[in-house]
Chains A and B, each alone.
Chain A
Amino acid sequence: MTQVNKTNRRRFLQASLASSAALLAKPASAQEVVLQPARSTGRTIFEAGEYGMPSEFATGSRLIGSANGLHGGARTPLSESHGIITPSGLHFEVHHGGVPDIPPHEHKLLIHGMVDNPKIFTMEDIMRFPSVSRIHFLECSGNGEQEWSSPSSPTTTVQQSHGLTSCSEWTGVPLKMVLDELGIKTEAKWLLAEGDDSSRMGRSIPMWKVIDDAFLVYAQNGEFLRPEQGFPLRLLVPGFEGNMNVKWLHRLELSDKPWWTHQEVARYSDPRPNGKKVVFSFYMDAKSVITSPSSTMTLNGPGFYEITGIAWSGRGKVAKVDVSTDGGATWQEANLQTPIFNKAHTRFRLPWMWDGKEATLQSRTTDDTGYVQPNYEQLYALQSPIGMMHNHAIQSWRVQQDGTVINVHHV
């Protein structure tokens, strides 16, 4: 009895499957569609981890370069970055003596020299001051140093050529407000900022900049600084070369003259065509780069592509970005993502129909002081063909007929 019933049921099922297949040819009524089964449940909420991590399929990671692990750095994956904010874990880093992780309750900031009342601040003291949050880029002045005289390689990626710039929201305390507590002596013209890393990184910073917009930073992108960004305290001198934004900040000394520290005279100084060397060249000048399409990418046949990239200036806001697809012969103004922040990455985008012929892509920014990003020829005249720091020349990417993109110098 049971046996018979089962067989019947199977027959019925087979028959109904066959007829439902036949029904597919006609307009199906809703209940007859076989639904795609839902995804399995994935990981549980318990497995989420107390600090969220990116998908294992998400691409974009930093590129690390160091011989000994103590000095060197890691570059931001610009071609896989979107918008203007760099996630803290993808921010570039450069070190001269390793990365300490300092317990904040042990950290102190000493301020002395040409002040009326030298003082020591704990992190708790510093965080009691009224705070500000601002979006600023940070760029190592060595960004692009290998590209200066000639392209390092046709397959150099934008991460390799430009990955020593990143942009974050920083939170901290205006330094002027803290210094006013101590009373700044009128003779004070320079400030030594010193880090509590093994190399005791020291840089001289002009007081006018300190008064203008320097701030003591303890948070980045909504959370405390990462150790590699100077936890628990770093200096931010917006628009000035990365090295001056001293990390693990533990001492500030005011003086009437700069220190000419080894870092500022041997490393962070710029050769000129006449053999002279320029010191105290703090500003990171107006610069831009196309992040897509860029070297090592391949365009999948003629048609629509969005040209996109970032522009920034250490002297103010990005006023405009022009894009060329013919190596600078003609230019088109790109769309800028708003709002545009002062001394911050600014995203630009331009729609482009690729006709399948060789094209040389360039971007050129102008900041709100009117300064126009130079090409290599202009940069050599300005600085030196053997220069290394402050390479802010126009970058060229060549789209070849087969759709592959390479790194070239075009003027």
Chain B
Amino acid sequence: MSAHKTLKLIGFVSIAISLSFGALFASAQEKFGFGKPAHPDEIARYNSDIHTDGSGLPDGSGDVALGAEIYEYQCALCHGEELEGVPEMGANSLHEGRRDIKKLPYASSLFDFIRRAMPLTDPGTLSNDETYGLVAFLLNETGVIKDDNLTLDAKSLAAIKMPNRQNFIIDPASRFTAEDLQ
């Protein structure tokens, strides 16, 4: 191959490389420009998740009595009168074994899950008050907080210290330390 041809080839290869995304734009400020800005109202409609410190918990409150009533009508069919679980409905016990509510590290996980995913056949229909009531009922039933008059709202739910919290440890492979997770 002549020197002239080799040079031409090198030129071609370097053009091909510069076409990979890194160098697609002349400056870092330049973008593809796809998508449209998300308005705060739009974000709020979908942003339902709750952090372990309670941030994201909605307004409202509910007590054990309200929770017991909702449980009876909307949950017992699958989870059983005594929280024992109804295997034919595919639901586990909520007071023993792997899905034991006492074993959860944070009450926020329970509130978030019930509000987003339960009842299985009709999720997203529980009001905030009903969800607070259900968490109060379940924590009372499983003995985490033995108080038949327990009422929960954003502040009191965020303050709950679950008894099993210290038994959760971090997978070293996740490359995070305990502090990173607080």
Contacts and interface: CB of A to CB of B under 8 A. Distances in A.
Contact residues on A (Cβ < 8 Å of other chain), bracket: 35 or more
Contacts of B14: none
Contacts of A262: 104, 109-110, 112-113, 117
Interface in B131-175: 167-171, 173-175
B90 A66 contact: yes
Nearest to A181: B31
A114 to B, nearest CB: 13
Interface stretch (B3-11, B32-40, B58-66, B67-75): B32-40
A283 B172 CA distance: 11
Interface string B72-96: 0000001000000001111000000
A269 B173 contact: no
**Which of B34, B109, B120 has the most chain A CB atoms closer than 10 A to its own CB?**
B34
Contacts of B110: 262
Contact of B170 (A189, A199, A202, A279): A279
A118 B37 contact: yes
Given A68-B89, A280-B174, A200 B104 contact: no
B49 A129 contact: no
A11 interface: no
Given A71-B90, A96-B117, A110-B46, A260 B52 contact: yes
A129 B33 CA distance: 10
A24 interface: no
Interface residues of B, number: 52
Given A120-B36, A120-B38, A266-B98, A272 B90 contact: no
B12 interface: no
Contact of B123 (A66, A200, A272, A279): A200
A68 B36 CA distance: 40
Nearest to A126: B34
Interface string A232-270: 000000000000000000110101011111110111011
Interface string B20-38: 0100000000011111111
Nearest to A124: B34
A280 to B, nearest CB: 4
B87 A70 contact: no
Contacts of B33: 181
A181 B182 contact: no
A280 B31 contact: no
**Which of B42, B103, B168, B170 has the most chain A CB atoms closer than 10 A to its own CB?**
B168
Contacts of A66: 90
B176 A206 contact: yes
B37 A280 contact: no
Contact of A259 (B42, B51, B89, B104): B51
Nearest to B180: A189
A208 B171 contact: no
Given A121-B35, A280-B170, A280-B174, A202 B49 contact: yes
Interface in A114-139: 117-122, 125-126, 128-130
A64 to B, nearest CB: 13
Contacts of A130: 21
A10 to B, nearest CB: 73
A117 B78 CA distance: 43
A279 B48 contact: no
A272 B169 contact: yes
Q: Binding site of A, secondary structure by majority: helix, strand, loop or mixed? A: mixed
Given A110-B43, A192-B49, A279-B171, A261 B109 contact: yes
**Which of B21, B87, B174 has the most chain A CB atoms closer than 10 A to its own CB?**
B174
A374 B117 CA distance: 36
A189 B179 CA distance: 13
B75 to A, nearest CB: 14
A120 B43 CA distance: 9
Nearest to B173: A283
Contacts of A82: none
Contacts of B38: 110-112, 118-120
A72 B112 contact: no
B90 A72 contact: yes
B52 to A, nearest CB: 5
Contacts of A72: 90
A129 B37 contact: no
A267 to B, nearest CB: 8
A96 to B, nearest CB: 7
A67 B87 CA distance: 8
B104 A276 contact: no
Interface of B: 21, 31-38, 42-43, 46-52, 78, 87-90, 98-99, 103-106, 108-110, 112-113, 116-117, 120-121, 123-124, 167-171, 173-176, 180-182
- Which 4 pairs show the lowest CB-CB distances between chains A and B? A67-B90, A262-B113, A280-B174, A119-B35
